[in-house]
Structure 1
């Protein structure tokens, strides 16, 4: 009897111990499962963030997000495109305190372009470790500071460091050093993507041999928008059969008779027409110095006036500038502006020679001054200025003359006269405050019956105000939260629960 009582007591003593051991084992198991889950989630997130970085952009101007225009261009990408950043990612983002923010922003935007389109793939190539990478790309000058190679099929285009960033021009020209002052990643990469995915390019011929000024800013803009540019001297060369455009830019001498005949025949195109001539006149010579060019304009219902457009409207004069630098209104014919993405932005020109329309059946205005402007004669003597009584009227800063065979549906040949050669120089084309780049590319697109694929995207400054935290925190905080804070918090909570239960 006594033995049975002792056995029963021993069994009752063992039950609580067994319960404690069971609870302890369950706690250990749950904690182990928590830790395993955290590790698994962390591994998955690490893999995801390698291709889709986790960050929240809380900058005031969304400087780490793609702009609407960029997304519209990328939506049209149907062919596979490879982006090769020609550095290790850590090296690409490196820089001193003044340039680091721009490099970080640039890298985030490159990732954003990659993430937005399924047809775009991003790679980082360390050329020091892979020196043979450049070998297949024989058309690239590898002595230059290229930052990205964009490739689609057999087509490729190198994007220079100076294409990705804006920089201090004075510092660069004097010392050859690049001091970054801003970025234009979306513009540079989108134009490169457009270039390598456009299989058929429209050819443009720039005439040389007449003492022309530098047109490199404009030809680069055309090339960025999938035009093929060639230079030809009519003294010993001929215009390519497949060229649709010829540009005569600020010539110092007139066309000779042979060149004049060549151009008139080219414009006629054996009665098939379909060719376009752009003429930017020289303002430093008398009009009588250019009889053949004047005759060419007359054939298309236009003539130049000797002098400059003096703008007197407050709404058209650029603040802080003189009256010879002004805003021009678009002409009434909307055919040349209907595809502009933002027609509310103006075209600005300086030292503009007026274009008079002599035959309204052929020619019409493209860009006009206000009705408060007047022609200031270039040959006016100083003693005549006081007695000068200007006639205020709207003057044409640019015009177009068109000819065809008169049959319905036939092609046109056009002569476009831009009264200011400054209109397509770098200062005006690069400014997003002016519509010069978009307008002139759109004009080329319209005359060649191409869709408007002109790429003009403004870069954003990462230094703008943030909504509560710094831009670097905006980039790093979410990743730190997911990778470290949450896992550590779960681990600590699990340990606390386990310790409390262990001592119950």
Structure 2
């Protein structure tokens, strides 16, 4: 009995020991599993913190898998912002959470984040216009206008630019945008491309420019548009005017509209004047104002851009002014029917319609001072409906340089000056036949046809014709030179919206590059807009098969094998 008792005690003792060993084992593995879990979570958190900091320090570490590389920044922009020597504040008049909740605003925010990551000079902040009135007031005092919620404000020193996140950061379909304004469509339906990088970079260049230039566009005369408005349904000059105005603004110029008759052409305020195809002749008083501006009390240093057009009437006073600068704009349209030296282009007649024209492809001068510093010289510059510019000989010290010329196969189709009633509309000439011939010639120039019998294109002189010229008045002051310049363009349509906003043409880049060179402004950066009509991640059939194989088979199989190995090892321990 006693032995049996001892055996039972021994067995109980052994069971207790085995239980303790089992519990220790469980505790050991359980503690190890807990430790591993804690370490793993800590590592994940640490990696997340490190990656976040690395992303701020190295913004290019993010992978952009969008089709149009929406979040990539061009090398030109990177070079510029990395070498900034002035502090720039970029403020968005909205709280960050609200602003970035919109997927389109998110593009702006991500782009700004990269700017800030690449340059210590750029500081990006957000503020609520209702909760931070002091911040709003600070910017409004510099801006002089009303700043609304959700706008992008770029400021350096006392210079400031304010942009609308919709129209300034995105390209929109104008017809759909009309529906949006009437509440018949959402803004996302209107967007076609993201131009945020172009706008932001231009804004930073503008506020940090050590040599800012102010352009006065002579848009009106006694309150009426100075250029011809052909009709409400077909008005290419209006859209060319807006395109030119926006182009200058986007490339860092301070642009202001002026009235030829009522405003003062103050040389202390304006560096450049633009005279866009006045439909009727200027008065002698207006001519004197232009002469005084260019002379600048003997200091020169001014520029005038004169844009001629086939829609103009006879302008003897203006012609006399140009003659003093050794140029003459003929009443003829340059046409080139050689397929290798012309191109079919679309001119914007209204928000909803275009018209197609055959336009001469022109050649840029070899002079390095006036070649526009084009990034891609293979892209064409076209001159639709451009009037021919002739160089006159005069011993007045002024020089003329042909900037853009047509090919040797081009010729000039004669035009007659248009006539306008006193109300500014198209008139009928006293001689009905003369007016009919004028309209026929104008239509022929616009549509590149030769339907009249009075003009024989085969007999017409063929050769290179100038459609853009630079007239320079340069004078020595002893140890330096001073100069004023007149730039003459042969057509408003050379700056048509469909050409200026199309990266397939060099019209915009050349115009801005030349103006920068002539007035001594720092070269602008031209960034192509990013198409938003296709933003999905695309993959080939082979890539899809590989992805399917990895996700559907390899990853699950790996997990199963790992689970079996762990289960077997635990079973036999």
Q: TM-score over 0.5 for the alignment? A: yes
- Does 2:514 align with 1:443? yes
Match of 2:475, SS state, is: coil
**Aligned counterpart in structure 1 of residue 316 of structure 2, from 291, 309, 325:** 291
Superposition map of 1:273-312 within 5 A: 273-286=300-313, 289-312=314-337
Match of 2:475 in 1: 405
Match of 1:251 in 2: 278
Match of 2:387, SS state, is: coil
The verdict on how the C-alpha distance between 1:233 and 1:167 changes in structure 2, with shifts beyond 3 A counting, is closer
Match of 1:334 in 2: 368
For the 8 Å contact 1:106–1:183, the answer to whether it is kept is no
Question: Which structure 1 segments of 5+ residues have no match?
Answer: 470-488
For the 8 Å contact 1:140–1:158, the answer to whether it is kept is no
Match of 1:358 in 2: 392
CA drift of 1:448 comes to 1.5
CA distance in 1, matches of 2:174, 2:380: 25
CA drift of 1:272 comes to 3.3
**Aligned counterpart in structure 2 of residue 318 of structure 1, from 320, 329, 343:** 343
Match of 2:204 in 1: 193
Match of 1:268 in 2: 295
CA drift of 1:158 comes to 1.7
CA distance in 2, matches of 1:36, 1:323: 66
CA drift of 1:89 comes to 5.1
Superposition map of 1:198-237 within 5 A: 198-207=209-218, 208-209=220-221, 211-213=225-227, 214=238, 215-237=241-263
CA drift of 1:283 comes to 2.0
CA distance in 1, matches of 2:362, 2:334: 11
The verdict on how the C-alpha distance between 1:90 and 1:182 changes in structure 2, with shifts beyond 3 A counting, is farther
CA distance in 1, matches of 2:271, 2:345: 40
* Number of matched pairs: 478
Superposition map of 1:61-72 within 5 A: 61-72=68-79
CA drift of 1:199 comes to 4.7
For the 8 Å contact 1:430–1:437, the answer to whether it is kept is yes
Match of 1:155 in 2: 159
The verdict on how the C-alpha distance between 1:317 and 1:145 changes in structure 2, with shifts beyond 3 A counting, is farther
CA RMSD across the alignment = 4.2
For the 8 Å contact 1:424–1:437, the answer to whether it is kept is yes
CA drift of 1:147 comes to 3.5
For the 8 Å contact 1:82–1:151, the answer to whether it is kept is yes
CA distance in 1, matches of 2:117, 2:144: 27
CA drift of 1:376 comes to 0.7
**Aligned counterpart in structure 2 of residue 123 of structure 1, from 108, 118, 125:** 125
Per chain length, whose mean CA-contact separation is higher, i.e. which structure has more relative contact order (CA < 8 Å, sep 6+)? 1
For residues 47-78 of structure 1, what are the alpha-carbon distances to aligned partners after superposition, in whole Å with 9 as ceiling and x for unaligned? 54895697422345433311223223323333
For the 8 Å contact 1:202–1:227, the answer to whether it is kept is yes
Match of 2:383 in 1: 349
For the 8 Å contact 1:60–1:465, the answer to whether it is kept is yes
CA distance in 1, matches of 2:70, 2:333: 41
CA drift of 1:190 comes to 1.2
Match of 1:78 in 2: 85
CA drift of 1:371 comes to 1.0
CA distance in 2, matches of 1:105, 1:349: 36
- Does 2:459 align with 1:389? yes
Match of 1:305, SS state, is: strand
CA distance in 1, matches of 2:341, 2:136: 50
Question: Which structure 2 segments of 5+ residues have no match?
Answer: 228-237, 347-355, 417-436, 441-451, 541-557
**Aligned counterpart in structure 2 of residue 452 of structure 1, from 520, 523, 528:** 523
CA drift of 1:233 comes to 3.7
CA drift of 1:167 comes to 1.3
The verdict on how the C-alpha distance between 1:450 and 1:291 changes in structure 2, with shifts beyond 3 A counting, is same
CA drift of 1:329 comes to 1.1
For the 8 Å contact 1:441–1:454, the answer to whether it is kept is no
CA distance in 1, matches of 2:323, 2:289: 16
Match of 1:259, SS state, is: helix
For the 8 Å contact 1:109–1:186, the answer to whether it is kept is yes
Structure 1 length normalisation: TM-score? 0.80
CA distance in 1, matches of 2:568, 2:175: 67
Match of 2:409 in 1: 372
For the 8 Å contact 1:58–1:467, the answer to whether it is kept is no
Q: 452-461 vs 274-283, which deviates more?
A: 452-461
Q: 435-444 vs 174-183, which deviates more?
A: 174-183
The verdict on how the C-alpha distance between 1:199 and 1:411 changes in structure 2, with shifts beyond 3 A counting, is closer
For the 8 Å contact 1:27–1:501, the answer to whether it is kept is no
The verdict on how the C-alpha distance between 1:89 and 1:50 changes in structure 2, with shifts beyond 3 A counting, is farther
Match of 1:350, SS state, is: coil
CA drift of 1:403 comes to 1.8
Structure 2 length normalisation: TM-score? 0.71
- Does 2:25 align with 1:20? yes
CA drift of 1:114 comes to 3.1
The verdict on how the C-alpha distance between 1:146 and 1:464 changes in structure 2, with shifts beyond 3 A counting, is closer
CA distance in 1, matches of 2:316, 2:455: 29
**Aligned counterpart in structure 1 of residue 49 of structure 2, from 39, 44, 58:** 44
CA drift of 1:452 comes to 0.9
